[in-house]
Structure 1
Amino acid sequence: MTPVLAMPVLAIPDRFFLDVVLFTISLFSTMIDPIVKQGVVTPLADPRDKALARTVRPRRIDEYVGQSAVRAQMEVFIEAAKRRGEALDHVLIFGPPGLGKTTLAHVVSNELGANFRQTSGPVLERPGDLAALLTNLEPRDVLFIDEMHRLNPVVEEILYPAMEDFQLDIMIGEGPAARSIKLDLPPFTLVGATTRAGLLTSPLRDRFGIVQRLEFYHVHELTTIIERSAGILDIHVARDGARELARRSRGTPRIANRLLRRVRDYAEIKAEGRISEEVAKEALTLLDVDVAGFDVMDQKLLLAILQKFDGGPVGVDSLAAAIGEERGTIEDVVEPYLIQQGFLQRTPRGRMATRNTWLHFGFAPPEGKTNETPHQMDLLP
């Protein structure tokens, strides 16, 4: 008779194993999301970011944190329009992704007490798509069009008389029998948002009476945003923990709120749900977000310039090929923060690393290869 071999029972440290498994599960949904291709600190939005934004988004202008100059101007413009009983002039909001362009559009609508209609440039494929939106507007409604730089040129032509004269020019029929008719539209406010204002045509850009540029946020402003979001979401975060998250959020509220969610997962498993400075540091290290807010993609780009191109200059196409990334992603997503923080320079000959870049990665800056660029993070209180 063949003896039956008993399998040995492995002794596993229960608490450690459980911690690892639970934390892995809590992060799994983030790990499989396409946004991971860009990293947890990408300013691009994913569906969960949009759902969170609807929960924590400020409703009124006095709840809107940061962008003090923009806020002060919009308060005046909105109040003046309300007193005159008129539609607010058309507003163009531009700046890097994640800074609150959509949020500001919602705030404008709420302050005006108007209906809010939302769409985006790529969705408006045909003139009829835009005509359907415009003809259903009520007086003083706010129409928000995101990604204005991606509008179909044919659709854009329809928008000109609508913005300027509140009229819609449409063609009836085809061929020799075709005729143009004009439909009157109620006065409305178009709020356009774009990350690439330079791609807007001059005729379109000139039809916006109010143009606002959103800047990266200061650390103390992001700290306030994180504490406000934590209060709404019932997350226990200490002041120093919120500040640590703010320091690594790349000046971007969308990233700050995303890091808050991810660090909350860590804190629930490792720190009884409380986010202190130390807990925030541990979680962010696990997420590969360094002290400057750089993720793997940022480090990959900067190290490529240092190690493969001797600090630059290097053309963006060569750089994209070297790190296996698309040119558009580098220009729109990765570079703005690096340039603003003084880690990257755009020159006529290409991209160059700054002195800060060499020092950040522990290298001695070579003579004559860099300019003395102050670390911008030191300038943000």
Structure 2
Amino acid sequence: MVGKFKEINDITKSKAEKRVRINAAYQGLNTFAWTSSFVGFIAVSGLFMSKGYIELGTIIALVQVQNGVSQLFNQLGTFINQLQTSLAGFDRISELLDKKEEPKYYPLSEEGCYDNAVLSLYNVNFQYEDDIKVINDLSLSVKKGETVAIVGPSGGGKSTLFKLILGFNYPQSGCVSIMGKPASKYTMEEIRDLAAFVPQDPYLFSGTVQENISFGKTGASTKQIVEAAKQANAHDFIENLEEGYNTLVGERGTFLSGGQKQRIAIARAIIKNAEILLLDEATSALDNESEALVQSALDDLMGEKTSIVIAHRLSTIEKADRILVMDKGAIAEQGTHQELIELGGIYANLYNLQFKEDKIA
């Protein structure tokens, strides 16, 4: 990774140096040409005026014209450079403008199949533009208060499933129901109000700790924010910050550690108090101490919610009510931890592999 970064950095540096050299040569040539033509023009004009062929006013007018033309060519190189930069920006803007506007309601190709579960998916299919199915005839029903864990190899469709639930992508076929109603009966805003999402790398805005927690609930009081932080095991470290809850976290939370950012994200999910909790590998990038604190906060939070958890470390989801093993966009295995271990399939192999790695470490 470091070698690849250095290679790309060297290429960028080389192209930048080449552009500067060409621009410098162009500017130098223009300056030399302008100076030479101006000196020659003055010399010839002086000779013509001394012989009465031309008057001083005509010379001044011609000098002004010559200066304007020379200035045009002098600025041409700078203009071309700025034009290329603007065209690159225009490509990015065009790409953004070409994106379809998000629909107000969740679009579904089918609406006739749903049940009274908190979340239900039936024969859902989804693929990106490369024509490879990421979600393949997936059916899933999650009951109120149930904790469902999703595991499986990378590229199995786990994170894509969350995007479908939150309305960032939409299934090409199949149906989705939430709280016993077709997803198409909900606006996108309503669907996202029903779910609290804690990703692996939570996004913190460039503001204070208090502001970042309060984004989970508009108009949250200081008391509610502090209570949420306590439940997320974040209150103690926040109090030890230089300005407590008024401490600036920096863009994307750069002034905080991974564990601290994660606990603030959990506090934000707690104060939102949504019906559904979505956790996408929320502890996989943390050290052991941070993981223990974050996992404790998550356990308290999941105890009261309908939770769907994507897990990398299988030890964190052993107590889940149900574990789904996703492979190639479909559910390959499902059951409790003990049932899947006894089955001896994909889950058992993943668990045994992690157990050996942890033992070696």
Q: TM-score, normalised by structure 1?
A: 0.26
- Structure of larger gyration radius: 2
Q: TM-score, normalised by structure 2?
A: 0.27
